[in-house]
Structure 1
Amino acid sequence: MPQFHRDSNHSILLAGILALVVGVGVARFVFTSLLPTMLEDSISIAFAGVLASINYLGYLTGSVFSIFIKDIHAKVRYFRFGLCLCVVSSFVLGITENNTLWIIARLFAGFGAAMALVVGSAVVMLKLKATNKTKAMGIHFSGLGFSIVITDLVMRAVFYFGGDWKDAWLVLAILGAFLSCYSAYILRFDKQPSNEVVKHKFDKSLFSPMVIILILAYFTEGVGMVVQATFLPDIVNSLDGLAGYGGYVWLAVGVAGIPSCIIWMRLAHRFGSINIMMAAMLLQIVGILIPTFSSNIVMNLISGLFFGATFIGLVALFMNFAGQLSNKNPVFIMGAITSAYGLGQIIAPLYCVALIKQFTTYNYALYLTAIIVACGILLLTYAKLNFKEAKQSMV
């Protein structure tokens, strides 16, 4: 069967997408889908913020760790280990309400997510046999959108058949285990004699001024992404007349995200990566601010669409551009920029919770987040004006 051929681009891309469903959907984003129900039943908004930050701390740790994974077979081993962590940590959330175990589970889920996204994407990039890897990686990163849609629909199905949020975690863990088997089977390399194994050395020269700007800009995008990625359903539910609509807006995020990577990557190919990153971040700012001035359901659905279309596309744009800058060791700079992204994701939920408790509204957290993303646009503008890599970013 062609879908089980390990060297087929179609199989490689499918395996990469399914790995993202497990690592990003099951281990990370379904927490957002389930958060309103868990807030009603079990946890406080403060503890939700702590769990989000702990998850992103694990993600940051995994991203930093990925920089130092040297040979391709080690990458595959840690990728598989990450998928296992994603499944087991989700299972734990379904069988206990112990706060300490939840914190540990979310920490390991974050580490596993980094292995699935950062290391898994590097494995996909290395395995692909394509003349235009930019477009192919756009297809791969569409898995981020699928991860939201698939896990959200599974959660809704569990609720429809009378289950609760605990049952949803268990069902999602089982689904994650099933999907992981296919990804682990396809995303591997043939064994080589130890003296022929490709190893990638830690190369400090890769940290050019362009890469440093990219790291700082991706930090601001980590902040911009995580606020809505953690709280969007609850933000919408808190608006006048929109209680209960948050889940639909979150589903819109995933739907918008599926084609966004392919569209943004093609635009980057035509107009340059830096230009398109700035355009996407500007659109994201608009989406972030909509809930601060409108409680209209259509406007807030547009906010969700803007968020899904931009944050998923920006992951693809930044990761692909980082891979292009790093030549034959994509995991190196992918890990470096994702570490900065993860740091932004740790900080943002904490300041959000503080501002929410102070002002009893999400507005001020959203204002600050928009300002930080705007700083990222300014950084990329500086890079475009001063660095040749940015000027020639027609990938």
Structure 2
Amino acid sequence: MNASSSIFAQRYALGPSLAAAAVLAIGMGFGRFAFTGLYPLMISDQILTVYSGTLAASANYAGYLAGALLVARARPSDARGLSIATAIISIVCMGALAWIHGPWAIVVIRGLAGIVSAISMIAASLWLLQHMGHAHGAPLLYSGVGAGIVLSAELIAAGHAAGLDSSMIWLVLAISSLVMVLVAMPALGAQPKPELHFGRDGSSAREDNSSILDAVRLIVIYGLAGFGYVITATYLPLLIKGALGSVNPIEVWAVFGLGAVPSCFLWHTLQVRYGTRFSLVLNLVVQAIGVVLPALDHSALSYLTSALLVGGTFMGTVTIAMPAARRVAHAVRFNMLAGMTAAYGIGQIVGPLVANALYTSSHTFTGSLFTAMGTLILAAILAIGVGPAHIR
């Protein structure tokens, strides 16, 4: 290993960060988001209808909220066990979908997958950022979600091209995830660094009050971001249907995930250099532009650009907000990361409900996309007020 690669490995805590990223790739990229790519295939295989598929997606969103609430008081010392458990349960859920074809059973499984995906997000973040003390590992950690989306999308595309049905593809995803968790397991046993402390030592009551305000503001911003991104993430395959000719829509979903991988490093770098306030505002504004593009222009280029911009910002929001939340966590009595994830979950539940109501009345997603854009702009305005004591 040369000097530059050694510095990179030390800065980003390569081993532990990759292990935590694998947990997110399994729990989020595979266990949660692979359903987006497999949903149309499960319908063509007559395993799901549009109605039962919508119920399964809704159960997943509700499960995500429930998972965040279940671990609201989780401690950093619990995080390793939770990370491993959620990876294993996610694999079991994927494997179950290879054999179970009853619509209501699938709804239950997707609800469970939503629960463990939220817990995996919180557990991996707690383990790496707080238990291990590797704050600079955040971009590598959260790039695991995008990497999981890309890898699962390509496995779905390859399986479909090889003539596999959706059940066999779920089995392929489960086996691939099992390989990942076995590779990650040794690094998850790493010993923590001495814990770093933020804010409370020598802080004044005024600073603590500022921290409480920032904590509440971050939670609200994060919930609005969950609402803003989920409409594109949920309806992108429907938006692009027929617009790309012979191109498989799953490849556009892969572009969505591909944008998320390097974006985590970009947004982390901006946060370190310019602070949370600037980077979060910019992230949300760019995301708003990406969300509304398909409503302004119905060309293939617009859809691809939207996928790249939203994919390139939604995990950037996480990369910026989660470390910022860690810095103000001392000001609240609950697990701040769990509170953020719960708010995100509420946004993800409300978003599709609003989109469905607007679509029912107008038979177009234009109103939904403009609503999502407005929500993200509101979040950006709130981000302007993030307190200076926690800018960096």
2:238 is aligned with 1:237: no
Amino acid at match of 1:118: I
Q: Is the 8 A contact 1:237 1:243 kept in 2?
A: no
Q: Secondary structure at the match of 1:234?
A: helix
Secondary structure, counterpart of 1:162 in structure 2: coil
Structure 1 residues not aligned, in runs of 5+? 3-7, 192-203, 385-390
* Partner-residue secondary structure (3-state), 1:67: coil
Report the counterpart of residue 162 of structure 1 in structure 2.
Answer: 163
Q: 1:331 to 1:30 in 2, by over 3 A?
A: farther
Cα distance in structure 2, aligned partners of 1:150 and 1:35: 17
* Counterpart code for 1:235: L
From 95, 98, 101, the equivalent of 2:99 is 95
Q: Among 356, 361, 365, which residue is 1:362 paired with?
A: 365
Cα distance, 1:331 vs structure 2: 9.0
Partner of 2:137: 136
Is residue 68–residue 342 contact of structure 2 (8 Å, CA) maintained in 1?
Answer: yes
Preserved contact between residue 229 and residue 314 of structure 2 (Cα < 8 Å): yes
The one-letter code matched in structure 1 to 2:70 is: F
Of 264, 269, 292, the match for 1:266? 269
Q: Name the aligned partner's letter for residue 86 of structure 1.
A: S
The one-letter code sitting in structure 1 at the alignment partner of 2:74 is I
Name the structure 1 match of 2:287.
Answer: 284
TM score, norm. by length of structure 2: 0.86
The equivalent residue for 1:346 is 349
What one-letter code is carried by the residue in structure 2 that aligns with 1:92? A
Q: What SS does the aligned partner of 1:56 have? A: helix
Q: 1:49 aligns with which of 16, 33, 54?
A: 54
Q: Deviation of residue 185 (structure 1)?
A: 3.6
Q: Verify the 8 A CA contact 1:94 1:170 in the aligned structure 2.
A: yes
What is the rounded CA distance, in whole Å, between the counterparts of 1:262 and 1:375 in structure 2?
25
Alpha-carbon shift at residue 347 of structure 1 (Å): 1.6
Q: Deviations over 1:56-104 (max 9, x none)?
A: 21111111222212461x3322222211221111122222221211111
- CA offsets, 1:314-369, max 9 Å, x none? 11111111112226999921111111001111121222233333332222221222
Secondary structure of the residue that 1:21 maps to in structure 2?
helix
Relative distance call for 1:291 and 1:71 in structure 2 (3 A) is closer
Alignment of 1:193-204 (within 5 A): none
Deviations 1:253-301, CA, capped at 9 Å, x for gaps? 1111111011101101111112111111111111111111212212221
Residue identity in the other structure for 2:216 = I
1:39, 1:354 → 2: CA distance? 23
AA matched with 2:68: S
Aligned residue in 2 for 1:59? 64
Amino acid at match of 1:154: L
Name structure 2 gaps, 5 residues minimum: 1-5, 7-11, 193-207
Q: Could you tell me which residue of structure 2 aligns to residue 253 of structure 1?
A: 256
Residues 28-60 of structure 1, C-alpha deviations (whole Å, 9 max, x = no match): 111111223234443344433322221121111
Instruction: Say if 2:225 and 2:344, in contact at 8 Å, map to a contact too.
Output: yes
Query: 1-side partners of 2:279 and 2:245: how far apart?
Result: 33
Q: Which runs of 4+ in 1 moved over 4 A?
A: 204-207, 241-245, 327-331
Amino acid at match of 2:254: L
Percent identity (aligned): 25
Select which of 17, 30, 37 maps to 2:34.
30
Q: How far did residue 248 of structure 1 move?
A: 2.5
Q: TM-score, normalised by structure 1?
A: 0.85
Offset from partner CA, 1:90-129 (integer Å, 9 cap, x none): 1222222212111110111011112211111210123546
Contact 1:135 1:266 in 2 (8 A): no
SS in 1 for 2:298: coil
Q: Aligned pair in 2 of structure 1 residues 347, 184: CA closer, same or farther (>3 Å)?
A: farther
Instruction: Please tell me the residue identity of whatever aligns with 2:164.
Output: G
- 1:320-335 alignment, distance < 5 Å: 320-326=323-329, 332-335=335-338
CA separation of 1:279 and 1:46: change in aligned 2, threshold 3 A: farther
Q: What's the C-alpha RMSD, in Å, of the aligned pairs?
A: 2.7
